[in-house]
Amino acid sequence: MTQPPSTRPLFLSELNALPASEFERHFAGVLEHSPHYAAAVAAGRPYADAEAVAGAFAHAVHADTEAAQLALIRAHPDLAGKAALAGNLTAESASEQASAGLDRLNTEEFAEFQRLNSAYHEKFGLPYVVCVRENTKDSIFEGARRRLSHTPDQERAAALHEIGRIARLRVLDLVAEG
């Protein structure tokens, strides 16, 4: 599990009964630096299961404006980028990047990530976003190279899809079974 150490998973009955502010605080890290989405999800309670909570986050993002979606994408850190080197990642991102070995790159791999990150920013004005927990270091590299051939609209859609996958796993980490 990758939830921050201070956040224990809560049972669905607990989540559905929480005051909105506590629900929002519990799920604040589901979408990178975008805790306001948790308020929209809190308003949709009660939820039948963790997948319904995850689906509510995806719906909130897809129902938002294109400008807000781009802001959400841009809130994600570059993989193995400056924020990672400086130790400025959210607890969720740090754990996720470590799970794919991105905190243990050799010199050549690090240089390749820097080239890919630069190419992404140059072409799309966005970071490369991928659900690292569902990938290996090699598939992350391959995906970045492949997605550089996307159009801006295709890449925006791909990034939002990956953000949905990231959010789903983070929600599942925050909801206890049973």
> How far from each other are the two terminal CA atoms of the chain, in whole angstroms?
17
> Which helix (H) or strand (E) is 95 found in, with range?
helix 91-99
Alpha carbon distance 65, 95 (integer Å): 29
β-bridge mates for residue 10, sequence order: 175
Q: Which two tokens stand for residue 153?
A: 């609209």
CA distance 65 to 83: 27
Let me know if 76 is a catalytic residue.
Answer: yes
State the Cα–Cα distance between residues 22 and 6, nearest whole angstrom. Answer: 14
- Identified catalytic residue from 33, 59, 62, 76: 76
Instruction: Provide the token pair at 2.
Output: 């990758």
DSSP 132: G
Which run of H or E residues covers position 11?
A: strand 10-11
Catalytic residues, by residue number, are 76
